[in-house]
Each structure stands twice: as C-alpha cells, then as structure tokens.
Amino acid sequence: MRPLRWNIDAADGRARAGTIATRRSEIETPVFMPVGTQGAIKGVRFEWLEQEMDARIVLANTYHLFLRPGPETIRELGGLHRFNTWGRAILTDSGGFQVFSLNDLRRLTEEGVEFRSHLDGSKHFLSPEISMEIQAALGSDIVMVFDECPPGDAGHEATRTSLELTARWAARSRQCFDELQDSGSDTGRIENAPEGLDGRQALFGIIQGAGHFDLRSESLERTVAIGFDGYAIGGLSVGESKEVMYGVLDHIAHQMPADAPRYLMGVGTPEDMITAIGHGVDMFDCVIPTRNGRTGGAFTSRGKLNIRNAAYARDERPLDPDCTCSVCRRYSRAYIRHLYQAGEMNAATFISHHNLAFFIALMREARRAIIDGRYNEFAAAALAKLGDESASGV
C-alpha cells in the first residue's frame, strides 16, 4: 500500500493527463494548486474553491504556519484540515524556499539553517527533521523534502555544492519522515483510506541544479535513488530568464520517472504552464492569481489586463468574455474598476476569484486537449490568444 496512486489517463507527445489519488481527494492533472500561504487562499473562501471551481488540492506554506500560529497550536487543534476546514488534499512546502529568500537573515550549516523571522526578528532554526515534524503536525497530504534553493544565476561550483547538501538533506528528510509516519505524528492520518492507499502522508523529492543541465541530471539521479512518491523541479522561476527555464524543462521533465507525478514548483504564468505541460509536467502552484488580484491584475484568455486602466471605466464586458466563473457571469469591468478605485475590498476578491477560476479552467482545457490528442494545437492556439492583448481592450 502506498500514500498515493498515480495513473496516466492519456498521453500526447510528452504531455500527460493523469489522476493522483490521495487519501483526501482525487486530483485530475494537469493541475494548478491555489496557494494558501497562511492556511487560507487570500480573498477567496473555500466554499468557492469547492463548489464552483472544484479545486481538489491547495498548497500551504510551512514557513508561515511555523512562525504563526505555530505547529503545536495546529496540532492541538487537530491538524490543518480540521483547523481551516478544507477537507480535500493539501500540499505543504518545506519552508526552505522562504527561508532562503530571506538572504541576510540566515546562517547555513550542514545541520540546517538559522534565520530571523520576518515578523518580529526572532531567531529560529529549520532543518530537514524540523521541517518534517512541522509538516506532520500540519497533517498535509503531500509533504516536500527540505532543500536548499540556490539563486537562479548560481555558478556551476556553487550549484554543485548546494545540490550535494540538498541530496544529503533529502535522505535525512526521507528517514525522519518515515519515522514520523511510523510513530503516528501525522495529524492528517486517515484510518479508512480509499482502497489501495495506506492513509499516510506522501513525500515528494525536489530536483535542483539551477540552469546547469549536467547538475540537473545528477540531482535527478540522486533524488530518484532515495525514492519518493512524486518528484518536483525546484529552483525555477527564481529570477532566471525564460530561455533558462524552458531549457531546463526541456532537458529534465521527460527524464523524471513516468510512474510518479511531476511538480514544477512556484510556476507560473498561463504561458509557462502551457509550455511546461508540453514537456511532461503535471502539477503547478503560484501566488500570482491572488497576488495580482489584489493589485487589480486580471488574467484572461487574451492576456493580462489591469483594471486600474481608465479604458475600463465604461467597459460593460466581464473581466474575460470567455470565462464562465461567477464573477464574469455577473460583474462588469466598469463596476470592478469602480470598486478598485473606491478601495472596496470586493475588487480584490472578485479579481482573485476570477484569476483562480481562470487558471483552474485552463488546466481542465489542457487536460481535455491531451485526452483528445490535440495538445500541440491547443497550446499554439492558447499561446497566440494569450499574446493578443489588444483583444482585451487594453
């Protein structure tokens, strides 16, 4: 028995349409995972994600929940699912990415990393073992190993040093994770798991190596040797050029084990996801639908628009005329712009809601195209339309 089951429902070239059965939900891929940094999707209630968008999995950030309210509080409250009421799958990151984004605030050793909280400057320590303990207390369904994320433009030598540390940390993560599963530390454990599943947390490994193809291959080999339930590509969308990102995807994604889900961490834009799916990636997450939503940025099938633009003051069209979400069915660009200009919080929630619905619908369309054997045509048409910003009325 395993913590999750992966099935490829259809393949078209390197693109795959699959199903990930987790202990809490079945996830059809390609999938976009909304990011709930603090255990909540900013501005969008879980009711909408469940009933309207039918999101099957969301992401939560270990770093933020570690600092506040703290893993012991969440453990006492019965785990993250019980605390935030989301009953479907949750993936938690390891906290590494956030800590390494702090730059001046950290001290790195073989053991782990010391850092100062961005909230109050207090000192904290994270290691593979502590990250596994926090993620067990949260009770997420998919746990990520604790890795070091080098800068996107890191040189060959620095990247090699970093990936060797990441490989040692992956082995320590695996060992501690297994011990925690055996000791019953996981608050999300399900006794009556779906058939064939053991009700335990799943653990994903992370492939690093920045923009160096040889190091990406080596990282993949070493990560697969340890053995995980799924594999992620880390260290992309961290400031490198599109050429580097797409080059790494073209090099590594199809070499990753076919019999496990492939997750591209922190990506991305609709264009990036469509490209990555073509290389064989199954899972994505990114904060941009809600982050941009709060500053007036809407993603549409014809590219991005910013609702602050005066051109929308009398525009009665919905954010995206091709979108069927409840915001687009009801509200006009002119009204949402008015709300934004007036500082009404509904402007942010409406645009965030639409953006998430758009990302999730885009993944559903991509899946349909893969199943129908027309992914290349779909991708070319979608990318051409996304680049056609004039059509959105900008």
Q: Which is nearer to Zn ion, 42 or 354 (CB)?
A: 354
Q: Is 14 exposed, middle or buried (0-12, 13-18, 19+ CB in 10 A)?
A: middle
- Nearest Cα neighbor of 150 from 90, 103, 114 is 103
Using alpha carbons only, how large is the chain's radius of gyration in Å?
21
Q: Which is nearer to Zn ion, 128 or 318 (CB)?
A: 318
Q: Which is nearer to Zn ion, 1 or 391 (CB)?
A: 391
322 is catalytic: no
Residues that bind Zn ion (CB under 5 A): 323, 325, 327-328, 354
For residue 223 the two structure tokens come to: 């990560």
- Nearest Cα neighbor of 308 from 281, 348, 340, 286 is 340
CA distance 328 to 58: 23
Read off the DSSP letter of residue 302: T
CA distance 359 to 378: 15
Annotated catalytic residue within 93, 147, 272, 320: 93
CA distance 282 to 273: 9
229 is catalytic: no
Q: Which is nearer to Zn ion, 143 or 325 (CB)?
A: 325
Residue 65 · residue 77 · CB < 8 Å = no
Q: Are strands 31-36 and 230-233 parallel, antiparallel or unpaired?
A: unpaired
DSSP-based three-state secondary structure for 61? coil
CA distance 119 to 286: 22
CB of 360 to Zn ion, least distance (A): 11
CB of 238 to Zn ion, least distance (A): 29
CB of 328 to Zn ion, least distance (A): 3
CB of 323 to Zn ion, least distance (A): 3
Annotated catalytic residue within 141, 147, 186, 285: 285
CB of 358 to Zn ion, least distance (A): 6
Q: Which is nearer to Zn ion, 177 or 299 (CB)?
A: 299
Tell me the catalytic residues.
93, 285
